Structures are given as C-alpha cells and as structure tokens.
Amino acid sequence: MDPAIILITNDDGFGAEGLRLLEESLTPLGEVWVVAPDREQSGQGHALTLNHPLRIEARGLRHYAVQGTPTDCIYLGVHRVLPRRPALVVSGINKGTNLGDDITYSGTVSAALEATLINVPAFAMSQQIRDGAADFAAAGRFARRLAGEVLRRGLPIDTLLNVNVPLTPPAGIRVTRQGKRLYPGGVIERADPKGRTYYWIGGAPAQWAEDAESDFAALHAGFISLTPLHLDLTNHRVMDEVRNWNLEA
C-alpha cells in the first residue's frame, strides 16, 4: 500500500524555518511533498493568480517552489505536481499568529481553505513570536499529533482547523472560536527622498474583544488554540429578517 501523501506549504516562502521544521515533524507519518511560494506571500489571503503564467521550479526530491501565492501552491500541487491526491494538507508553520478576523488576510489559513474547497482535509499552523524570533519546536510536535488524528479520523465536510501555538511551553490545548479584533485603522504616512508621499498600512497595536472562549484568550493564557473553521459564510440567523425587507427585482 502506498504511503499517505502529505502536502505542505506556507506563506513565509520556500526557505522559511517553520516550513522546514514542519516537514521534519510530519515525515514519520507519510510521504511529505513541499510546494511553497518562492518568496514571502504574507497577507495575500485567498488570492489565486489568473492574469499571468505561473512557474514551478523543482528544488530537490518532492520539493517545489512556485512563483505564486499559497493558494496557487495548493491548486498546482494537487492538480499538477503530486502523483496522486494527498491525504492531508498542512500550511505553516507561520512565523506569527493568525487569530480572529486576521485569518481573512492570511495566506497560511487560505492555503488550508483551498485544500478544503477541493475536499482534502487540512489545517493551518501558526507560532506566536517575540521580537521577530520564533521557536517552532512545540508547534512541530503538535502538528505531528494533530496530523495523525486527522489522518485517522478525517474532518467534517467543509471544515478546516486553524492552530495557534503560544510563545511559552503550552499549558494545554483549547478548542476555541474565532475571536474579534478591534481595528484601530492605523496608517503611517511618510515621504521618500524625492518628497513623494507613501504609506504603510498598520502600525497601531492590536486590540481584542473580551471573549474567554476565543482563540486570542486561549493564546494569551498560554494554551494552544485550535479553531474549527467552516466554509459556509452564510449568516443563517438573519436570512428570515432579510426576506422581510421591502425589496423588488
């Protein structure tokens, strides 16, 4: 019987330390294939490249770099690179957290989302950092345990898992819900040497709504946060309300 294929990717780029450690962690569970962006693609969200050609470069046995987004990597990996359908997709280990509403921007989470769209079980792994530095050891160990469980059990239809690992040795694991980030809307305005104005989005510290069951609260308390996410974005609770609006075609 052929070993299970595990496809891994990230948004930090092919040479990222978190991707290398993820590969090492998952190798005992199956045949790991790396299909990752050739450069950093943080903040790309669920972008799929449609307006220019994509190139794939082989960088060793079962290792490929793609001139595209994390979503491109999953799409090309499943439909072109791999010899057969993967049993699991894992995205990460991201250098930095992907919590609450920030998952809508995350290339790491979007890679797992793309796998879920094509009915491949998937989860995303992110590691909290301090001063730009990260220790991925605990995240790697948990990725292996979680991958083993998903390979045995599968995942419910249209469901992916988003995992965030704290800086400190984890106090345990909490199954959480997506938190709510309060965006201050910071934009930094500066001038280049020629006097032309340019902007940096961000710069203001993150704030979070109080919610003891959220991903942010779990991480803040030193726990690994494991959040099941669902592809159906419909707000079923307000469907009847909208039906009662005075609307005509």
Q: Is residue 143 part of a domain?
A: yes
For residue 201, being part of any structural domain is answered with: no
Of the candidates 163, 172, 168, 175, which has an alpha carbon nearest to the alpha carbon of residue 125? Answer: 163
Say if CB 91 and CB 162 are below 8 A apart: no
Residue 189 lies in a domain: no
Q: Is the pTM of this model over 0.85?
A: yes
| CATH code where residue 234 lies | 3.40.1210.10
Q: Is residue 89 part of a domain?
A: yes
pLDDT per residue as tens digits for the range 60-83 = 999 999 999 999 999 999 999 999
Q: Is residue 202 part of a domain?
A: no
Residue at 196 is within a domain: no
pLDDT, tens digit (0-9, with 9 covering 90-100), for 181-232: 776 667 888 888 888 998 877 666 667 778 899 999 999 999 999 999 999 9
Question: What is the domain extent for residue 153?
Answer: 5-179+209-243
> Does residue 231 fall inside a structural domain?
yes
Query: Is 113 domain-assigned?
Result: yes
Split into its structural domains, the chain has a count of: 1
